[in-house]
């Protein structure tokens, strides 16, 4: 394991140079025999002094950033340094939500490097490689853990079907998918990463009267992790989708504090609408459109209408609800059916339609140039999206994790 709180060699001056005026820094340069420096600003002078006369000291990792106050204004000249590399692995990687979020928060001080990814689905691996330039391996149970590169962070949105409301809720009784958590533990036992980030459906907390989650938490705590968990709704984290998911974060040093929800800035579905889409639903032969009342709206998703069968007068099931694009949208599901299968239906330009795959990509916060259509059909892509994690949520979690663990 590479220790992300490991000591780094940092060049420091015994005196706090940032508190000196430019005149005093010039006098210091003269003492050290540094010439041709009168035209330099304070940041450049400090760098010259550090290069000339330094003492090397080992200190815990800190935020490598320096704001220098000039006599008249603030300069944002950072001291040059080699970026810290933090390595992570992406288990059950899917479309690469973790990878996309890590790439987004990487900066000149900290670079996040994916050293391993895996997914059992052939098409998903092709899509992941095309977008992230890493070729994931297949079945996690066939991985030679000893040969894996050491890493700092383990990420995994382990399969949710054994725990989900839409699934059979078999939990660990699902002999294959339910036990993949123990495959994660095998990797942890051998590689001992500093931090783990797991994601699953919110139902994981309550299945088997809570015993399944208690087992997960207990097994991680036995291995020395401080465990935090919380159900997050993506609509409060810059996403146009309302998606409740459980996040479990473990760290060897201290408990993670989840970032605060942003409740006063709900992003509407209109922000990701593809105005070139022309495939609207022709429902008039089978359904009629019935207006909804406010009591039928949930999670700030504004349901305008529901499709009702003309013969049975039944309707309004998950795939028969028609939402406004001026509010957040409902959860995109891999397994839902009906006319609005997977994405839900929306009222756009006085017509009704599902979201297309491009819009689905936007609902999860992936880049507009995300590559997929050369590998799978649209319906398959919507299925994969239904099993994904919202990138917007991960961006905020990972940035908060960085501030708490890596540069605090």
Residue 394 CA: distances (Å) to CA of 89, 117, 131, 220, 302? 15, 17, 18, 21, 25
Residue 80 CA: distances (Å) to CA of 66, 77, 304? 10, 9, 55
Active-site hit among 160, 301, 328, 333 = 160
Enter the DSSP assignment of 166.
Answer: S
The CA-CA-CA angle for residues 395, 401, 404, to 5°, reads: 140
Query: 114, 134 in Cβ contact below 8 A?
Result: yes
Catalytic status, residue 10: no
C-alpha to C-alpha distance for 272 and 343, rounded to whole angstroms = 13
163-188 in b/e form (b: 16+ CB < 10 A) is: bbebbebbbbebeebbebbebbeebb
Dihedral of alpha carbons 11, 16, 20, 23, sign: negative
Active-site residue set: 160
């Amino acid at each position: 394991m590479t220790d992300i709180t490991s000591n780094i060699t940092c060049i420091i001056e015994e005196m706090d140079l940032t508190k000196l005026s430019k005149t005093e820094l010039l006098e210091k340069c003269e003492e050290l025999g540094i010439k041709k420096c009168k035209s330099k600003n304070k940041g450049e002078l400090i760098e010259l002094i550090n290069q000339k006369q330094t003492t090397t000291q080992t200190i815990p990792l800190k935020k490598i950033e320096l704001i220098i106050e000039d006599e008249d204004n603030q300069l944002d000249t950072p001291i040059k340094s080699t970026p810290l590399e933090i390595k992570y692995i992406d288990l059950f990687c899917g479309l690469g939500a973790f990878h996309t979020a890590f790439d987004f928060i990487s900066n000149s001080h900290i670079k996040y490097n994916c050293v391993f990814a895996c997914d059992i689905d052939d098409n998903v691996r092709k899509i992941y490689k095309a977008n992230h330039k890493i070729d994931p391996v297949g079945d996690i149970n066939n991985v030679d853990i000893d040969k894996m590169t050491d890493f700092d962070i383990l990420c995994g949105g382990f399969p949710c079907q054994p725990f989900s409301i839409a699934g059979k809720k078999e939990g660990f009784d699902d002999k294959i998918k339910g036990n993949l958590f123990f495959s994660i533990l095998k990797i942890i036992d051998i590689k001992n990463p500093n931090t783990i980030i797991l994601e699953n459906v919110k139902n994981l907390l309550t299945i088997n009267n809570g015993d399944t989650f208690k087992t997960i938490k207990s097994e991680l705590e036995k291995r020395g992790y401080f465990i935090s968990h919380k159900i997050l709704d993506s609509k409060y984290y810059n996403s146009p989708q309302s998606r409740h998911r459980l996040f479990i974060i473990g760290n060897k040093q201290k408990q993670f504090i989840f970032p605060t929800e942003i409740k006063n800035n709900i992003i509407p579905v209109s922000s990701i609408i593809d105005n070139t889409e022309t495939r609207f639903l022709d429902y008039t032969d089978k359904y009629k459109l019935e207006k909804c009342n406010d009591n039928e709206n949930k999670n700030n998703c504004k349901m305008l209408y529901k499709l009702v069968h003309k013969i049975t007068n039944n309707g309004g099931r998950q795939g028969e609800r028609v939402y406004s694009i001026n509010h957040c949208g409902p959860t995109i599901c891999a397994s839902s059916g009906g006319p609005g299968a997977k994405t839900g239906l929306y009222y756009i330009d006085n017509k009704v339609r599902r979201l297309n795959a491009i819009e689905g990509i936007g609902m999860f916060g992936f880049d507009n140039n995300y590559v997929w259509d050369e590998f799978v059909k649209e319906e398959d892509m919507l299925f994969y999206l239904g099993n994904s994690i919202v990138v917007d949520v991960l961006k905020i979690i990972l940035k908060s994790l960085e501030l708490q663990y890596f540069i605090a």
